[in-house]
Amino acid sequence: MADKLIIVESPAKANTIKKFLGGSTKVVASMGHIRDLPKSKLGVDIEHDFEPEYINIRGKGDLIKSLKKDAKTAKTIYLATDPDREGEAIAWHLAHILEADENKITRVTFNEITKGAVQKAIKEPRDIDINLVDAQQARRVLDRIVGYKISPVLWKKVKRGLSAGRVQSVAVKLIVDREEEIEKFIPEEYWNIYVSLLDEKSKKEFEARFYGKNGKKVDLHSKEEVDKILAEIDKAKYIVTDIKKGEKKRTPAPPFTTSTMQQEASRKLNFTLKRTMSVAQGLYEGVKLPQGHTGLITYMRTDSTRISQEAREAAKKQIVATYGEKYYENRYYRTGKDAQDAHEAIRPAHIELTPDEIKSYISPEQYKLYKLIYNRFLASQMAAAIYDTMQVSIQANDYDFKASGQNLKFQGFMALYVEGTDEKQEEEKGMLPPLEEKQEVKKQKINPKQSFTEPPPRYTEASLVKALEEKGIGRPSTYSPTITTIIERHYIQKEQKQLVPTELGKVVNKLLTENFADIVNEEFTANIETRFDKIAEGNEKWKNVIREFYGPFIQEVEKVEKELAHVELQDEVSDVICEKCGRQMVYKYGRYGKFLACPGFPECRNTKAIIETIDVPCPNCGGVVQVKKSKRGRKFYVCENHPETCNYISWNKPKPGEKWNPEEQEKVETKKVKKTTKKSSSKRKSTNRKK
């Protein structure tokens, strides 16, 4: 019999906590949620004030029996699920299902799984925070209502199996809207004039850029404008008219929140959001080190940049010991106005455990992410980098040119970490030569350059998370599942790192935008998030929010159903003739995207895959190269004659005139063979178990 029973979500977290507590304490895992709304029906009793109809999750019967048995014999039950709304809801469901005396059930939370944090939490238990539970229930119920009421409209008008979600529909709309911007974009011509100049004293060349005329900025839009200026400065002297010297400081980025961690892991490690959160979960729950299971980072779902005083002191000690006193600066970061600030920023739980020290005990993925978190946190408490800067104005006749340069004087935090960015970075310019006012510099060459404005870039996972956060749509726990869902449902596909809407995604977005404007409205969705926050703070009742939402929403659904009852979406007709019955085939949407189908269904059931090709011939035989996708959605290129008369297959898109490398074909084929072998091996194991 255990005096204390601690229930957490996962076995890894249980193993880490066990080593901090005495022998009379038992630590067990609930394996996540144990109750939820049913999958087969709405599960919300509309007639009885939106009461949720929770059921035990299928397959957890034995686990629930075991948890009840442990709860009966324990003197005190500590519900130690994650310190957020989802964790609070899991604790609430556990308390309901254990059927134990409520006086012996208590709630504990810790932001990091360290001995001090766990022992302190056990000494300071609290009641379950029903406000946090209600905020989670409000989100779950509202999202269930939206999904179950709108999805059937999509089934009737597009295809069965589709679904609509409150946050995911807004995310799809952002991506579709961006794609439309790109398609409608008309490039505009513009020009720059660069002149290479020589300082004869130092014999150093530098580059200046055209600015304008007589101190006024002039934008150049045509070759004629440029040629006129070039003619007027052909014989001109280039005189330095103004020099400004200064100092520029670059400050470090704050420690990670969930979204900034996801963005940076995408940019620097090429991790998907789902992968980032999975690896971070493992680091938080604990890994096996020589000293036992150890939690390496603080809780990874947070939108706060706050850090504890103890963590500050530990960071100072580490920075001073490694880099010296001048590299340390005690920094405080302002948390955004919409942040919950319930937890600290994401940081190392044990600053003394450097990434390289534990590298051999953790997986390569864990090492990469831990190093990113560790370095970002340490850098956030370091001194600014300092640059010497110089800006120079130069005149040629009446025309103005400008040059600038900078030189890194003190590395500061940049000795350890520099934040990534989604935008193109200009190359950092070195310092200009030691020029003087009224000095003449000699023209070496002039380089007029034509350019065209570019459309806005497509979203990546990182930039979409940033956009959702800036617009107040979703919260730290929702970004990864939202983007994962819209990719898995084939509304969006990834091309390299870019998110591109599929035809299916465009059709679904059009239907939702035209008929359920509020659901895909950014402000409306952000406002709902704010209402959830008020529920969590105890300033709003969750059923009030659902009531206010449901009335107008269900009226809109009923109106749309009536309007669309006699509307049949017309299939797009292709120029492909069905070889079985002679009809013109139409485009349909399936689980894996667009395909061709005979409109004579059910008399004619002919279907065809749409084969994408490229305009570069096969480097091996000159045949047509087809674009195909692996099971994981990665594109590869294969000759139409493969494998009968040509072996060409490659992960890389062929370029005109390039020679074929058979080793590339071997890489693709080997990967396929490995997958097949693994699958057949698991099948054999399954057969043996049955025997």
Instruction: Give catalytic residues, as residue numbers.
Output: 299
Question: What gap in Å lies between CA 133 and CA 127, rounded to an integer?
Answer: 12
CA neighbor of 363 nearest in space, from 268, 282, 449, 274: 282
Element (DSSP H or E) covering residue 320: helix 309-322
Q: Report yes or no: 212 and 505 within 8 Å, Cβ to Cβ.
A: no
Q: Which residues pair with 386 in a beta bridge?
A: 249, 410
Which runs of E-coded beta strand occur in 252-347?
Answer: 287-289, 292-294
- Distance, in Å, from the CA atom of 519 to the CA atom of 534, rounded to the nearest integer, reads 20
User: Which of 224, 217, 225 is closest to 402 using CA atoms?
Assistant: 217
Give residues with Cβ within 8 angstroms of 643, minimum separation 6: none
d(CA 90, CA 84): 10
Q: Which two tokens stand for residue 149?
A: 């009421």
Beta-sheet pairing, 76-79 with 105-107: parallel
569: its two tokens? 């979406």
DSSP string, 632-688: TS-EEEEETTTTTT---EESSPP-TTPPP-HHHHHHHHHHHHHHHHHHHHHHHHHHH
Angle subtended at Cα 464 by Cα 458 and Cα 465, rounded to the nearest 5 degrees:
160
- CA nearest 41: which of 133, 148, 120? 148
Which residue reads 């996540």 in tokens? 32
Q: How far is CA 449 from the centre of its chain?
A: 36
Q: Are 600 and 585 in contact (CB under 8 A)?
A: no
Distances (CA, A) of 404 to 287, 448, 682: 50, 19, 63
Q: What angle do CA 365, 369, 370 make, to 5 degrees?
A: 110
Phi, psi at 500, each rounded to 5°: -120, 130
